[in-house]
Homo-oligomer: A and B are copies of this chain.
């Protein structure tokens, strides 16, 4: 397999873009990535998106974006893996470049969610659950995560307020990211007083509904040498799956797809958790942060909250997470989030993260999770 590198990144602000369509957002990010790389060439376009069909009445999205971005007659596909669609699109591009079929591939993750009523968005997001055995009975995604959080609190004898440090950390980091949606720092006190959505999950446990697009230009590492920006090598790109239905799991607090995908990535990149300088994890809810840190070997079972409470997830801690705000602080335009994570790891590894810079970062991990831990895509990047 040929090695693959990222030589260009682009992103739109994350927020409520009522004046821009899904194609506008995608094009803006793609053009930014091409400008960043200073390279015009692209042999394929991979689009990560989950909800354009449900929310915008638009399938055939990859072709639509290829046209709007002036890329015709480029090869173009949309890849969907629920909230892991962004990571999955990057994985697809890695395979395409590694195969030799493409020398250069553009990847864009895009989602447009704020033009619709929240009820409709909640129903659309629930399509990531099992339609016959979960969503069909009215269980929304926040409800599924509330079940997990309650179980975690019971099994490990922790209180809801013990999850506060994840949200506080994400907001503190988002405050330093000009692209982020929620740039106000919060306190543990704010977290505790935040209104409940689905007991025990409250507003500050949860990532927001938003719009955004992020893009990457990837290429064969052998082509990257002359690039304008320091190339960032994709040292591992992996995916693993678990049951869609939570009730089918032996232990719902073990996120096996996340663990499998991370283990495969460590093997491929020949690193372990100790070698990771920053971890862009999928903090759609605070409970996901805890389960991901434990599944990926950064904390023992039931001890991720302690890790967070001790400040070890902060920018200057052992394992900085969500260094530019994560899904909670930056915002979670679902099919785009996996690409935002990769863009942000690249910013850190290049030393371009500004006030949010993790000093001396050389190895970063981005992990995109779909459903309630049913599919996980992990990338390890190195400079």
Chain A residues with CB under 8 Å of chain B are: 1-2, 21, 50-51, 53-54, 56-64, 66-67, 71-82, 88, 91-92, 95-96, 98-101, 123-124, 126-132, 135-136, 238-244, 248, 256-257, 260, 370-371, 374-375
CB-defined A-B contacts under 8 Å, sample of 10: A21-B132, A50-B59, A53-B54, A62-B81, A63-B244, A67-B242, A73-B240, A76-B375, A77-B79, A95-B96
Q: Would A95 and B91 count as touching, CB distance under 8 A?
A: no
**Can you name 13 extra interface pairs (CB under 8 A) apart from A57-B131, A59-B128, A73-B240?**
A53-B127, A57-B136, A60-B129, A62-B375, A67-B242, A67-B248, A67-B374, A76-B241, A77-B92, A77-B239, A79-B79, A98-B99, A99-B100
Q: Is the beta-carbon distance between A374 and B63 smaller than 8 angstroms?
A: yes
Q: Which residues of B contact A242 (CB under 8 A)?
A: 63, 67, 72-73
Within the assembled complex, what's the spacing in Å between the Cα atoms of A313 and B144? Answer: 55
How many whole Å from A123's CB to the nearest CB in chain B?
Answer: 8
Contact of A77 among B21, B61, B81 (CB under 8 A): B81
Partner of A63, one of B91, B96, B370: B370
- Select which of B2, B50, B60, B80 is within 8 A of A128 by beta carbon: B60
Q: Are A1 and B60 in contact (CB under 8 A)?
A: no
> How far is B248's CA from A105's CA once the two chains are assembled, in angstroms?
25
Q: How far is the CA of A128 from the CA of B73 in the complex (A)?
A: 17
Expressed in whole angstroms, the Cα–Cα distance for A124 and B375 within the complex equals 26
A128 to B57, CA, bound (A): 9
Provide the main secondary structure of the chain A interface.
Answer: mixed
For the complex, what is the distance from the CA of A71 to the CA of B241, rounded to whole Å? 9
Contact A82 B95 (CB under 8 A): no
Contact with A92, one of B74, B92, B135, B136 (Cβ below 8 angstroms): B92
Contact B98 A63 (CB under 8 A): no
User: Would B79 and A127 count as touching, CB distance under 8 A?
Assistant: no
Min CB distance, A343 to chain B, in Å? 21
Q: Are A75 and B241 in contact (CB under 8 A)?
A: yes
What residues of chain B lie closer than 8 Å to A136, measured between beta carbons? 57
Q: How far, in whole Å, are A56 and B133 apart by their CA atoms in the complex?
A: 12
- Bound-state Cα–Cα, A136 to B80, Å: 24
Given contacts A77-B92, A79-B77, contact A371 B241 (CB under 8 A): no
A57 proximity list for chain B (CB < 8 A): 123, 126-127, 131, 135-136
Q: How far does the alpha carbon of A157 sit from the alpha carbon of B143 in the complex, in Å? A: 61
- B98–A82 contact, CB under 8 A? no
Closest to A248 in B: B67
Considering the chains assembled together, what is the distance between the CA atoms of A374 and B80 in angstroms? 20
Q: Decide if B56 touches A131 in the complex (CB within 8 Å).
A: yes
Please, how many angstroms separate the alpha-carbon atoms of A23 and B243 in the complex?
A: 13
A74, A82, A99, A124: most-surrounded residue (chain B CB, <10 A): A99
Contacts A76-B239, A91-B77, A239-B76 given; indicate if A60 touches B370 (C-beta within 8 A): yes
